[in-house]
């Protein structure tokens, strides 16, 4: 079983260095306070902005007001990189982020609001500053940690020359752990257990496919669930994840294929395919309504329904260009993509800033600092995200109902979220022309003569097996219909 709460989750992904600089008690060691890049300046590969977990605490009210009830953080542990995927100490929150005390207070503050917190677990590799790797660098073959890594020769070329040890994508800054070594394996599993005992609500697993060992992840799941049966385990798998979603490893994965389907449909000819192709999204395909629905139906039939409703549905992340850039600045299409995300089975996930139209190309540009001056916000976009979160919270069918295609032609898609005799109908106009609604609803509603548009208040007539709207659906817009007697 997947955690029950995930079905109602709306995730907000935060890149801690770029979210907000807050104030709080200084940890020991005292973090650096000088040399940060200007907040409003474009980010650089190595530069730090100085955002921290105290800053997140200060913005919890904003986050909750937007309807997000679960925080997913990029790594927070001590590291020499601004993105902190180069972990140097898995038991210490980075001092620049506020140290362990800041995470403790964040967990307390989030839980008091009924929110949950998911941390990023980077267990395939560490940074060169990690104690075990540094011990190996200093002592060579004499180090008792030599079997924690895959070493091809001594002395180690950790800082010059070609790496003579296994590293993520051959990057010498990221030595790969040898999880076949019992002590190394136990160390990593112990890290997972430790932070669950401190109160986190689950793990997002970085490149878990590169630990090519089902037994490792089976043991990971067993030990995580022994501490908290409701802990969420979600893997970063970009394509088919059947291997990991058999019920003995992960609860879910980051559902990039669903995001690709939405982008291909909503983006149309506007979609920047070249920009997407240079990221993990790959070259996106333009899709009509039927093509989009077929992709979605395939995804929903690929895994058990229990897993489908727990998937972390995602359009963009710290590993992709920003949503508004993929759609070439078209705010109507950007809004529509986000609205679709909220109406499909699985948990919507929004990368910080996408809800206000924050721009960004490839890494590191997609990791810009969050602007907190409202003159930089695209307020209609923000309003739409807030409204969709409220709609999803008020109508359980949007997180529990099965997907049923009703109508699909060109840029016009209608699908229902159905549970028993209850149903909501979603109509999507992904074309630049108004759509005069008239299509068969195939006995979707057995009772009632009218349907109410829950987003805009307009009405439609259910007559002789057809839905007929009073007013055309605007270009690049979405409505959610509920039958009325």
Q: Verify cis geometry, omega within 30 degrees of 0, for the bond prior to 29.
A: yes
Position of tokens 């200007």?
38
Same domain, 314 and 374: yes
Alpha helices in 321-441 (DSSP H): 323-326, 331-343, 379-394, 397-400
Residue 374 in tokens: 């409202």
Q: At 355, phi and psi to the nearest 5?
A: -75, -10
Look at the chain and report how many structural domains it folds into: 2
User: Do 181 and 147 touch, CB atoms closer than 8 A?
Assistant: yes
β 11-14/312-314 pair status: unpaired
Q: At 473, phi and psi to the nearest 5?
A: -75, 125
Same domain, 88 and 119: yes
Q: Which residues pair with 427 in a beta bridge?
A: 414, 479
Say how many CA atoms lie within 13 Å of 256 toward its Cβ: 19
Average pLDDT for 422-439: 97
Q: How far apart are CA 351 and CA 178, in angstroms?
A: 32
pLDDT of 390 higher than 70? yes
3-state class (DSSP) for residue 424: strand
Same domain, 408 and 393: no
Q: How far apart are CA 204 and CA 169, in angstroms?
A: 20
Does residue 138 fall inside a structural domain?
no
Q: How far apart are CA 304 and CA 375, in angstroms?
A: 44
∠ CA(429), CA(435), CA(437), 5° rounding?
105
pLDDT of 31 higher than 80? no
CA 197 to chain centre: 24
Same domain, 330 and 416: no
**Of 383, 398, 413, which marks where a domain is finished?**
398
Same domain, 312 and 417: no
What does pLDDT average to over the chain?
Answer: 96
**Of 398, 417, 433, which marks where a domain is finished?**
398
Same domain, 189 and 315: yes
Does residue 156 fall inside a structural domain?
no
pLDDT of the residue at 459: 92
Q: Which structural domain, as residue segments, surrounds residue 214?
A: 4-124+177-398
Q: Contacts for 177-186 with beta carbons within 8 Å, 24 or more apart?
A: 177/123, 177/124, 177/125, 177/126, 177/148, 177/149, 178/147, 178/148, 178/149, 178/150, 179/123, 179/211, 179/213, 179/216, 180/213, 181/147, 181/148, 183/147, 183/148, 184/132, 184/147, 184/148, 185/216
Does residue 467 fall inside a structural domain?
yes
Residue 87 in tokens: 């972990």
Q: Which residues are catalytic?
A: 206, 236
Task: Write down how long the chain is.
Answer: 485
Q: Give 211's contacts (C-beta < 8 A, 6+ positions apart).
A: 123, 124, 179, 217
Indicate which CATH number applies to the domain containing 469. Answer: 2.60.40.1180
Q: How far apart are CA 431 and CA 288, in angstroms?
A: 10
Say how many CA atoms lie within 13 Å of 73 toward its Cβ: 27
Query: Tens digit of pLDDT for each residue in 33-88?
Result: 778 999 999 999 999 999 999 999 999 999 999 999 999 999 999 999 999 999 99
Q: Contacts for 61-64 with beta carbons within 8 Å, 24 or more apart?
A: 63/12, 63/115, 64/113, 64/115
- Residue with the bigger pLDDT between 27 and 425: it is 425
Q: How far apart are CA 377 and CA 357, in angstroms?
A: 7
**Of 358, 374, 398, which marks where a domain is finished?**
398
Query: Tens digit of pLDDT for each residue in 248-291?
Result: 999 999 999 999 999 999 999 999 999 999 999 999 999 999 99
Same domain, 223 and 330: yes
Q: How far apart are CA 135 and CA 138, in angstroms?
A: 5
Does residue 62 fall inside a structural domain?
yes
Same domain, 377 and 416: no
Q: How far apart are CA 461 and CA 11, in angstroms?
A: 35
Does residue 172 fall inside a structural domain?
no
pLDDT of 123 higher than 90? yes
Indicate which CATH number applies to the domain containing 376. Answer: 3.20.20.80
Same domain, 318 and 250: yes
Average pLDDT for 179-190: 98
Same domain, 414 and 376: no
Please report which confidence band the pLDDT of residue 26 belongs to, taking 50, 70 and 90 as the band edges. Answer: confident
Does residue 134 fall inside a structural domain?
no
Q: How far apart are CA 350 and CA 231, in angstroms?
A: 20
Does residue 265 fall inside a structural domain?
yes
Dihedral sign computed on CA atoms, order 313, 316, 318, 323: negative
Does residue 328 fall inside a structural domain?
yes
Same domain, 184 and 222: yes
Name the DSSP letter for residue 204.
Answer: E
Same domain, 46 and 76: yes
Residue 138 in tokens: 């200093």
Please report which confidence band the pLDDT of residue 447 belongs to, taking 50, 70 and 90 as the band edges. Answer: low
């Amino acid at each position: 079983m997947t955690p029950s709460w995930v079905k109602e989750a709306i995730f907000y992904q935060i890149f801690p260095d770029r979210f907000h600089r807050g104030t709080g008690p200084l940890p020991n060691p005292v973090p650096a306070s000088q040399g940060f890049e200007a907040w409003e300046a474009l980010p650089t590969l190595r530069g730090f902005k100085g955002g921290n977990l105290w800053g997140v605490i200060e913005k919890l009210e904003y986050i909750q007001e937007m309807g997000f009830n679960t925080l997913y953080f990029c790594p927070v542990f001590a590291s020499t990189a601004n993105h902190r995927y180069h972990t140097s100490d898995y038991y210490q929150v980075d001092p620049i982020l506020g140290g362990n005390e800041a995470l403790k207070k964040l967990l307390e503050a989030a839980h008091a609001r009924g929110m949950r917190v998911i941390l990023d677990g980077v267990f395939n590799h560490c940074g060169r500053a990690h104690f075990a790797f540094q011990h190996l660098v200093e002592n060579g073959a004499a180090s008792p940690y030599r079997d924690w890594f895959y070493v091809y020769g001594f002395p180690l070329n950790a800082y010059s020359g070609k790496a003579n040890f296994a590293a993520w994508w051959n990057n010498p800054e990221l030595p790969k752990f040898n999880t076949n070594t019992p002590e190394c394996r136990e160390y990593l599993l112990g890290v997972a257990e430790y932070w669950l005992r401190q109160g986190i609500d689950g793990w997002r697993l970085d490149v878990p496919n590169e630990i090519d060992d089902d037994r490792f992840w089976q043991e990971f799941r067993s030990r995580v669930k022994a501490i908290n049966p409701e802990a969420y385990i979600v893997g970063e798998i970009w394509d088919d994840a059947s291997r990991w979603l058999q019920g003995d490893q992960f609860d879910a994965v980051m559902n990039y294929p669903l995001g690709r389907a939405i982008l291909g449909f909503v983006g149309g000819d506007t979609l920047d395919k070249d920009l997407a192709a240079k990221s993990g999204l790959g070259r996106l395909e333009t899709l009509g309504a039927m093509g989009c629905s077929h992709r979605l139906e395939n995804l929903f039939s690929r895994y058990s329904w229990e897993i489908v409703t727990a998937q972390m549905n995602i359009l963009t992340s710290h590993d992709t260009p920003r949503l508004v850039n993929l759609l070439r600045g078209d705010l109507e299409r950007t809004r529509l993509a986000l609205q679709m995300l909220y109406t499909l089975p699985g948990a919507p996930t929004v990368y910080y800033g996408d809800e206000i139209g924050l721009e960004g190309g490839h890494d590191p540009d997609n990791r810009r600092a969050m602007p907190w001056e409202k003159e930089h916000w695209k307020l209609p976009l923000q309003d739409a995200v807030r409204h969709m979160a409220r709609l999803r919270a008020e109508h359980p069918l949007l997180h529990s109902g099965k997907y049923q295609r009703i109508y699909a032609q060109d840029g016009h898609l209608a699908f229902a979220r159905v549970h028993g005799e209850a149903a909501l109908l979603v109509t999507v106009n992904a074309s630049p022309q108004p759509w005069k609604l008239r299509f068969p609803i195939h006995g979707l509603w057995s009772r009632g003569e009218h349907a109410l548009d829950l987003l805009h208040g307009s009405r439609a007539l259910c007559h002789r097996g057809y839905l007929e709207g009073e007013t055309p659906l605007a270009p690049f817009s979405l409505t959610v219909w509920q039958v009325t007697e």
